[in-house]
Chain A
Amino acid sequence: MLEYVLRVILPSFFDGLILGASFGLVALGLSIIFGITGVINFSHGDLFMLGSYIGLTLLWSILPNFWISIIVAALVLGAIGIMIERLICRPLYGKAPLLIFVATFGLALFLREAAKLIWSPNPISVDAPLIGHMSFGVFYYPIYRLAILIIFSIVYASVWFFFNKTKYGAIVRAATENSQMLACLGVNVSRVRMFTFSLASALAAVGGMIMLPIASLSPEAGALVILWCFYIIVLGGMGSIGGTVLAAFVIGEIFTLGSVWLEPREMEILGFLILITVLIVRPRGFFGKPLLLE
C-alpha cells in the first residue's frame, strides 16, 4: 500500500501540482485583468503560446541558456501585453465589456494563425535543461519537474508577496475594489491597468516556457489553455485570486490523479460533471463575490 502511494500516487500528485500551477499562472493573469478592468482577455491563452514560441526561437538562435530565455520571453511578452492594452483595450474601456471580449477573440485568432504561418502548425517538443531522476526508495521523479515545482513555488510566493506586502500590490488590489476612488486619490489608474496587463502577460509567458519540456507546443495550445482557464475561473469565482489558484490546482489534480485510474475522456467528463455541479449548487464558484442581484 505504502509502496503504491510512493510509486504511483505521489508522482501523479506532483504532476498535478505542476499542471495546476501552469494553468494557474494563466488563469491568475486573466483573473487580475478582470478584477481591474472588468474585461476578459480572450487572447490570454495565446499569449501563453506566443511566449513559449518566442522564448524557444530566442533559445535556438541567440540565447545561450533555457533559464535566461524564460526571463527574456517574459520581458518580451510584458511589452506585448502593454501594446495590447494600449491599442485594443484602452479605446474600448467604458463601453460594453463584450466588445473587448470579442476584439481580443479576434486578436487570439490572429495570433494563433500567425503562429501557424511563422512556426508551422506541427507540435514541437524540447528537451529538459535538467536531465536525470531523483529517487527515494521506490519514489522516482525527474529532476526537471522538481525544479519546476520549486520555481513555481517561488513565482507564486513572489506574486503573493507583491500583492500583499508591497505598495504597488496594494494599489493594484485597490484598483480591483474601486478604481474611481483610487483615481480620486491621485493614482494614475490608466497606468495601473497597463502595468497589470503587462504583468499578466509576462506570467503567462513564464508558465508557457516552463511547461515547454513537459508538454508539446503547438499553435493550438493557446485555445486549449484559455478554455481550461475559463473552467478554472468559473470554478474558482471570477475576480478572486485565491479562488482562481485553488481551482487551478483542483483541476490539475483531477487530471493527473484521475489519469491513474481513468481514461482521459472519462476524466474530462468527470471534470465537466464537477464543474456543472458547482455551477448549479454555487453559481459564483468557490470564492466569487456575490453580485448585487444574485
Chain B
Amino acid sequence: MGEISKLLSLPRVFSYLVPIAAALGVPYLMPTYYVSLLADAFALALVAMGVNLMLAYAELPSFGHAAFYGVAAYVVAMAFMWLKMPVWACFVLAVIVSLGLGLAIGSFSIKRRGIYFAIITLVSGEVIHRIFWYTRAVGGSDGMSFPRWFELRPGYYFVLALVLVACLLFLVIGSSPFGKALRAIGENEVRARFVGYNVELYKRIAFVLSSIFPALGGAFIAGYRGFVNPYLASVHISSEAVIATLIGGSGTLIGPILGSIFLVFLMDIVSSYWVGYLTIIGMAIVLVILFMPQGTIPLTRALVSPRLRKSKVKL
C-alpha cells in the first residue's frame, strides 16, 4: 500500500481535488446541455476504464466491453420494470450479472493475446448485441423504455460519484499485489509464468474485475435515460471506449476520462456543423494514432495526470 500513501501527499491531493471540485461545480457553471453531455462522457469513461484496466495492466486490448455496458443496462431495465426491484438492488444485480458474463467471456478470450484477443472480445460483444437485437421480449431493435430515475443534476452527480468510486477501485487494484503481478504478466508473460504465477488465473480475474466498470456505467445510463436499446452493447460503444482510452493515454488513471470527454464533445461539436461529421472523426482517429501513438498524455501531463506507470506504456 506504499503507492497509496504516496498518492496522498499534499501536491498529489491537490491534483485530485482541483478537477473534482471543477466537476462538482459544473452543473452550476455550465448550460444544462453540456452537463448532460458530460454525464454521457462519464458513462463512456466507465467503459473506457474497464478497457484501460485490461490494456494497461494485462496488455490485453478488449473490443467487447460494451457487452457489459449493454447487459447491465438491460438487467437494470428488466429488474426495474418486471421485478419492480428498488434502484440499489437493480445496480447490485446488474454488477453481479456482469461479473458472471465476464467470467464466461473471460474463460475463452484470455487464452489468446494481442489482436486475437481484441477480435474474440469484439465477436463476443457483437453476439450479445445481436441477441438483444433479436429478442422480442426485450423490445428487439427498439429497446425498452421506463420512467427515468434521475433528473439531470442528480444524475450528473451520481455518475460523477460512480467515476470517483471507479477511480479508487482502479488505484486499489493497481497498487495491490494482484495488480503488480498482473503488470508483470503484461510486461513479460513468459517470465511471469516461469516465476510461478498462474498467468491464466490472473488474467481471468482481471477480466472479471474489469467488467465492473462498464457495468456501473451501463446501469447508470439505463436509469438516467429511462431507455435501453441494443446499441448500448454494440461494437460502436466498445470501440469508442478503446479510442477514448488511446486518445487520453492508456495506463493512466485520468486518461480514459479525459479521452471520453474529448471524444463525446468532439462528436457533438462537429456534428452540429456538418452531416458528414463522422468522416472527420474517422480521420481524427487515424491522425491521433499516427502522430500521437502515446495518446494525448504528453499534453495532458502538463495539466493533471497522476501517472500510475513511470515506464512507457507498451500496448
Contacts and interface: CB of A to CB of B under 8 A. Distances in A.
A275 B279 contact: no
Contacts of B1: none
B123 interface: yes
Majority secondary structure of chain B interface residues (helix, strand, loop or mixed): helix
A275 B283 contact: no
A280 B283 contact: no
A294 B284 CA distance: 37
A110 B131 CA distance: 28
Interface stretch (B90-98, B114-122, B297-305): B114-122
A91 B289 CA distance: 10
Interface of B: 55, 61, 107-109, 111-116, 118-120, 122-124, 126-127, 130-131, 134, 189-190, 193, 199, 235, 239, 242-243, 246, 275-276, 278-279, 281-286, 289-290, 293, 314-315
A17 interface: no
B123 A109 contact: no
Given A102-B285, A103-B285, A113-B282, A39 B107 contact: no
Nearest to A30: B119
A215 interface: no
Given A96-B315, A101-B115, A113-B278, A107 B286 contact: yes
Given A109-B278, A276-B127, A103 B115 contact: no
A272 B119 contact: no
Contacts of A106: 243, 281-286, 289
A98 interface: yes
Contacts of A227: 123, 126, 235
Interface stretch (A127-135, A230-238, A247-255): A230-238
Nearest to B288: A106
Given A39-B115, A95-B293, A268 B279 contact: no
Given A231-B123, A272-B131, A293-B189, A98 B118 contact: yes
A289 to B, nearest CB: 11
Contacts of B239: 102, 105
Contacts of A269: 130-131, 134
A103 B108 contact: no
A276 B193 CA distance: 28
A62 interface: no
A291 interface: yes
Nearest to B115: A97
A294 B127 CA distance: 24
A88 interface: yes
A99 interface: yes
Contacts of A111: 282
Given A269-B134, A279-B108, A291-B113, A101 B127 contact: no
Contacts of B127: 272, 275-276
Contacts of A284: 112
Nearest to B140: A265
Contacts of A109: 278-279, 281-282, 285
Nearest to B55: A98
Interface residues of A, number: 48
Contacts of B111: 283, 294
Contacts of B122: 230
A114 interface: yes
A28 to B, nearest CB: 16
A18 interface: no
A235 to B, nearest CB: 9
A105 B115 CA distance: 13
A110 B283 contact: yes
A194 interface: no
A88 B235 CA distance: 22
A102 B134 contact: no
Contacts of A102: 239, 242-243, 246, 285, 289
Interface string A246-271: 00000000000000000001001100
Nearest to B291: A91
B286 A293 contact: no
B193 A113 contact: no
A280 B105 CA distance: 9
A108 interface: yes
A40 interface: yes
Nearest to A105: B239
A117 interface: yes
Contacts of B285: 102-103, 105-106, 109
A233 B193 CA distance: 28
A230 B281 CA distance: 24
B94 to A, nearest CB: 22
Interface string A76-102: 000000000000100110011111111
